[in-house]
Chains A and B, each alone.
Chain A
């Protein structure tokens, strides 16, 4: 569940750009989140136009596309096209976060994403791409991008087809990859086979930070990663937000590669107190905050589903 917007991204403070502040000057040291209010008379297209026509827009380092439909069109075609079309006016853009909506604005699974490949064509210098919601999401048949360093897909259920597109992409500089796997209730059907090229270390030679998060089968993912070749060259591993329990943690404890990590993020988990102690003793850089307790017997939830 997403309850709050981020206040920082890529080391910059984030500010809202809504119909109420369209006349205020843009501060190019900030990142703006373009977002329509629930009863806004101003459409997203108009809001976007007001943003890019401001002098400071040419200098902003990144942009966040928030709620883009109040009651109008929901599919992402329009915001994708607007953003791609503004490439000459957003010439310093290095980061795009597409679809930062809260649960109170739209359930993650209801965010109508679509084809985002025009963004990668329009912004060849883009370094960070983050997206929320994977309904209808596609990166196109063969994504190629020479500059991208970080790719994050936040979702309550990641389809195997999207995983295959991402792992087939040509992203030579990619250092960080986060895939939120989610649950099959919300379309998360990525299989071990889909993840195999990643785990085998066959793709993204510069990958150092890997997140396989928010997974219904977080224990299984932990076991796969614990013995996967990719882990040998990672600096940071993130298995947070899912249903990790002692079973998955045992595999992590037994892995020499895991012990060499500079950071291991397991926060929001179902670990026992004892296991939390063992993990902290063995891995000085582990984050085991936010312990959950199973409900109704043994039912464990991921942090973001619907």
Chain B
């Protein structure tokens, strides 16, 4: 099968630009671009896909205020199956959303955003399958939906035997978190927004006896207008139990997942984890991230380490054993051609644990693997997958067979497993 490439994203973003360039280079054709804003406002002529065979790459909706507000507005009208009375997690009405103004760094009702995000993903899937002759996805919308729900991802991975940190569930409040920690005999946890990304709304919390401390990038602002949460680029340490409680309560109202804090191995003076980009079943990029704080996000000051030097120190067998869970995590999403996996080696470097699966975690500016960047690898994996039989013209996102390596080395597309 051949197919027209379609990218859904924010057209002004570097991510979309990179993908367009990679697709043009590999196919000679410019993909169709659908802007999230266009989709949200119902301004897509879906009929134009009639009879076409398409390969769809969904890109991040982030860094665009109008899109963010549109998703929040859509979420306002969505029922929450986990919170039918809309009493558990922070919600706001369509009218309130319409009145919102851009406030960079601010955390908006995260669960509601997710409900809107899931709805727009479902809408795209339904529309394309209704009109196009065949639809393939880089990552199907249903998988993107799961990856954007850390609790669901965690459950899926755990059920398939992928090593994930011990889960303490979705606490209602700070008191509930403490009760869960006591019941699980767990003194250090990470609390993360189920639907957040990039350490947004994350707290590394520790309690022993009367003492507690929390590391976080979340700032809590209180004034006449009420209480608001912001993401900051600085990691703060809070030791006042009252202040920690207020923050944790606020995050729990956005649906947050608590997990045991894996003591991360260190390397070259930093606490370490890996961002692993798996594409077509193979680990294409393995980037050690070294941090001075419990957070290894690069935008929070962590630095990239040299994977070749690290692998040489660990030895081939141990490196392979430590990185294997990343590939295993992606195997839980058999229809997804790629994603980013955050993987933490435990102190002692004998085991590693999957912390997150990021649908849009393959954005690694400036990094090349065998001469290709992540977008080029994604396009190659897409072309490769198109060689396997198309789903039987069905309108629903059926399970496409796993991608196979080409029969010989003559093809421009890479063999998948490396």
Contact = CB atoms under 8 A, between A and B. Distances in A.
A13 B187 CA distance: 32
Contacts of A38: 260-263, 346-347
A37 B208 contact: no
A306 B186 CA distance: 20
A105 B271 CA distance: 11
B266 A71 contact: no
Given A3-B271, A39-B166, A20 B350 contact: yes
Interface size, B (range): 20 to 34
B348 A37 contact: yes
Contacts of A277: none
A3 B263 contact: no
6 contacts: A18-B350, A37-B347, A39-B166, A67-B347, A104-B271, A110-B211
B304 to A, nearest CB: 16
Q: Which 4 A-B pairs have the closest CB atoms?
A: A3-B266, A104-B263, A71-B185, A4-B266
B42 interface: no
A74 B187 CA distance: 11
Contact of A3 (B186, B270, B346, B351): B270
B211 A102 contact: no
Interface string A164-179: 0000000000000000
A3 to B, nearest CB: 3
Q: Which of A2, A20, A37, A38 has the most CB of B within 10 A?
A: A38
Nearest to A20: B350
Interface in B242-275: 260-267, 269-272
B237 interface: yes
A37 B165 CA distance: 13
A74 B208 contact: yes
B346 A37 contact: yes
Contacts of A74: 208
A4 B186 CA distance: 23
A97 to B, nearest CB: 16
B292 interface: yes
A240 B306 CA distance: 27
Nearest to A1: B292
A67 B186 CA distance: 15
Given A107-B213, A110-B206, 16 more contacts: A1-B292, A3-B267, A4-B265, A4-B266, A20-B350, A35-B347, A35-B348, A37-B348, A37-B351, A38-B260, A38-B261, A38-B263, A38-B347, A71-B185, A107-B206, A110-B208
A3 B267 CA distance: 7
Nearest to A306: B237
A38 B353 CA distance: 12
A71 B269 contact: no
A242 B213 CA distance: 24
Interface string B132-174: 0000000000000000000000000000000000100000000
Contacts of B185: 71-72
Interface size, A (range): 20 to 34
A38 B262 CA distance: 7
A5 B350 CA distance: 14
Contacts of B264: 104
B263 A102 contact: yes
A77 to B, nearest CB: 15
A224 B5 CA distance: 72
Given A3-B270, A110-B211, A102 B347 contact: yes
Nearest to A110: B208
A35 B346 CA distance: 13
Contacts of A102: 263, 266, 347
Contacts of A5: 347-348
A138 interface: no
Interface string B184-196: 0111000000000
A241 to B, nearest CB: 12
A110 B209 CA distance: 11
A20 B294 CA distance: 25
Interface in A1-35: 1-5, 16, 18, 20, 35
Q: Which of B264, B272, B348, B351 has the most CB of A within 10 A?
A: B348
Interface string A281-306: 00000000000000000000000001
A252 to B, nearest CB: 26
A4 B349 CA distance: 11
B186 A71 contact: yes
Contact of A104 (B187, B266, B351): B266
A255 interface: no
Contacts of A18: 348, 350
B166 to A, nearest CB: 6
Interface in B221-244: 237
A39 B166 CA distance: 8
Nearest to B267: A4
Contacts of A1: 292
Interface string B177-218: 000000001110000000000000000001010010100000
A227 interface: no
A103 interface: yes
Nearest to B184: A71
A16 B348 contact: yes
Contacts of B213: 107, 306
Interface string A102-136: 11110100100000000000000000000000000
Contacts of B267: 3-4
A107 to B, nearest CB: 8
A243 to B, nearest CB: 17
A49 B166 CA distance: 27
A2 B269 CA distance: 8
A74 B188 CA distance: 14
